[in-house]
């Protein structure tokens, strides 16, 4: 049952919150030992008891899972890192507070790559999450716990975060819907920072309608977030159900490279044919700067991470490993608290920001980022949306991509739009090698309404 279907059933009196919670916990008891989507869970009896006072609100007391890099008053927030073991924030992130105000309850916190740095959810201090379709494979990352929980039926919907593709790529690999809004459309207040100019809170759900429903609740201006756009929220479920008549959709040749498998290419052709059947015109275009997105992203995001993660020093909160002097204590704390991937990115970012290399690396990456954004602007002067695969491959095996570059290439199709701050969505597009394969739609800034409308139409056509 999708979140929307659950709400409709509650409205008709066909089910109750207690029955829905019991159903979710049966799935958790059955699958969670294998999937490991959650790092902490609420008490189902408390959820049922609290639902009575929330029954008149839009979400009627239903539980929603939350990625463990979003601050929650009632649960620890660890970011999948030893350095924040047991840390409990004194407040809720804005998106969590807005869900609660709408009548939702936090079901639990989901696993992630440490500090959201990864594409497989293998880099968590609490162990990897596994793909519900095949326990030997990854769920994608870094929001792999949220995607796996939704795909396994352990959660009706979940919040995730997308810095370079961390909502869309796991959605694709787990066969669910993943929405990344325009940068600034959803408040980042209470999101533990990885790369501040890229981090975006997104939604993982079982349908486009569910993603639109959650987006309607969490979007809108937040004066506590300096990057929040001064725009009100709206009902993004309006317009769902319309076809694509009059819409021009672009297929970049760079998003269908020769390396893409024959089976995946066949799916892309099927998507384009479905769009045409719905009334859209599909045209080929080129985004030649796509190949520069990966090095640009990793320079910028690692540089911002090296600055953001400097606050974890063992002095104020989290892990502390004692030393004879303050500097020794900080070094020992960070050595013990951070995992290998986080250390790798801090080292890269610190080097890119160091004297003598700033302009050569970080400065140049920012200039390329501007060029990528301009390239998208030129493309959207010709088309309404861009279509293509979310990830170049379906879910890979746990431990298969030990080389960091091969892991980073998993996000090659999601990084360009992230650098440009654009909204994008991944929906189930079929199967490759018997595993889910995601269809990605990218829109111009603030085009969530159009993006969701097209995604909903294609979702129905491809289902």
Annotated catalytic residue: which of 40, 67, 146, 302?
A: 67
Annotated catalytic residue: which of 166, 207, 426, 447?
A: 166
417 classed as catalytic: no
410 classed as catalytic: no
The alpha carbon of 403 is separated from its chain's Cα centroid by a whole number of angstroms, namely: 23
Annotated catalytic residue: which of 40, 142, 187, 228?
A: 142
Contacts of 381 (CB under 8 A, 6+ apart): none
Contact 397, 430 (CB under 8 A): no
What are the tokens at 155? 């959660």
142 classed as catalytic: yes
Q: What is the 3-state secondary structure (H, E, C) of the chain?
A: CCHHHHHHHHHHCCCCHHHHHHHHHHHHHHHHHHHCCEEEECCHHHHHHHHHHHCCCCCCCCEEEEECCECCCCCCCCCCCHHHCCCCCCCCCHHHHHHHHCCCEEEEEECCCHHHCCCCCCCCCCCCCCECCECCECCCCCCHHHHHHHHCCCCCEEEEEECCCCCHHHHHHHCCEEEECCCCCECCCCECCCCCCCCEEEEEECCHHHHHHHHHHHECCCCCCCCCCCCCCCCCCCCCCCCCCCCEEEEEHHHCCCCCCHHHHHHHHHHHHHHHHCCCEEEEECCHHHHHHHHHHHHHHHHHHHHHHHHCCCCCCCCCCCCCCHHHHHHHHHHHHCCHHHHHHHHHHHHHHCCCCCHHHHHHHHHHHHHHHHHHHHHHCCCCEEEEECCCCCCCECCCCCCHHHHHHHHCCCHHHHHCCCCEEEEEEEEECCEEEEEEEECCCCCHHHHHHHHHHHHHHHC
Task: Compute the distance between CA of residue 94 and CA of residue 97 in angstroms, rounded to an integer.
Answer: 5
**Residue count of the chain:** 463
Q: Annotated active-site positions, please?
A: 67, 142, 166
């Amino acid at each position: 049952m999708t979140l929307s279907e659950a709400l409709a059933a509650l409205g008709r009196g066909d089910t109750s919150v207690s029955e829905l919670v019991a159903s979710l916990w049966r799935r958790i008891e059955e699958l969670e030992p294998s999937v490991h989507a959650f790092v902490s869970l609420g008490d189902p009896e408390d959820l049922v008891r609290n639902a009575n006072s929330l029954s008149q609100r839009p979400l009627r007391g239903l539980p929603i899972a939350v990625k463990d890099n979003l601050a929650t008053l009632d649960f620890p927030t660890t970011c999948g890192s030893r350095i924040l073991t047991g840390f409990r924030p004194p407040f809720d992130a804005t998106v969590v507070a807005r869900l609660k105000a709408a009548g939702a309850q936090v079901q639990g916190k989901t696993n992630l790559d440490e500090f959201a740095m990864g594409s497989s959810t293998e880099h968590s201090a609490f162990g990897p999450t596994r793909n519900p379709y095949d326990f030997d494979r990854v769920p994608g990352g870094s929001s792999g716990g949220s995607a796996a929980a939704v795909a396994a039926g352990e959660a009706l919907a979940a919040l995730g975060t997308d810095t370079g593709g961390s909502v869309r790529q796991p959605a694709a690999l787990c066969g669910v819907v993943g929405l990344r809004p325009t940068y600034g459309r959803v408040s980042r207040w209470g999101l533990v920072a990885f790369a501040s100019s890229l981090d975006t809170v997104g939604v993982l759900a079982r349908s486009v309608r569910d993603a639109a429903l959650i987006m309607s609740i969490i979007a809108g201006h937040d004066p506590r977030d300096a990057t929040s756009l001064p725009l009100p929220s709206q009902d993004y479920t309006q317009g769902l159900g319309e076809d694509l008549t009059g819409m021009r959709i672009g297929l970049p040749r760079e998003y269908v490279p020769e390396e893409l498998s024959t089976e995946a290419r066949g799916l892309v052709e099927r998507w384009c044919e479905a769009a045409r059947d719905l009334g859209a015109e599909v045209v080929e275009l080129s985004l030649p700067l796509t190949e520069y997105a990966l090095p640009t992203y990793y320079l910028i995001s690692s540089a911002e991470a090296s600055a953001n993660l400097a606050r974890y020093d063992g002095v104020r909160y989290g892990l502390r490993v004692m030393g004879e002097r303050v500097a020794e204590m900080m070094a020992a704390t960070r050595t013990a608290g951070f995992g290998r991937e986080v250390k790798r990115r801090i080292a890269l970012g610190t080097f890119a920001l160091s004297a003598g290399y700033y302009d050569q690396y970080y400065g140049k990456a920012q200039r390329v980022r501007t060029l990528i954004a301009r390239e998208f602007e030129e493309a959207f002067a010709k088309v309404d949306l861009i279509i293509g695969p979310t990830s170049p491959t379906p879910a890979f095996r746990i431990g298969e991509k030990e080389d960091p570059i091969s892991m980073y290439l998993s996000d090659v199709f999601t990084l360009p739009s992230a650098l440009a701050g654009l909204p994008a969505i991944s929906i189930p597009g079929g199967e490759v090698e018997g595993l889910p394969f995601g269809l990605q739609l990218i829109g111009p800034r603030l085009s969530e309404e159009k993006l969701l409308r097209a995604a909903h139409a294609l979702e129905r056509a491809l289902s």
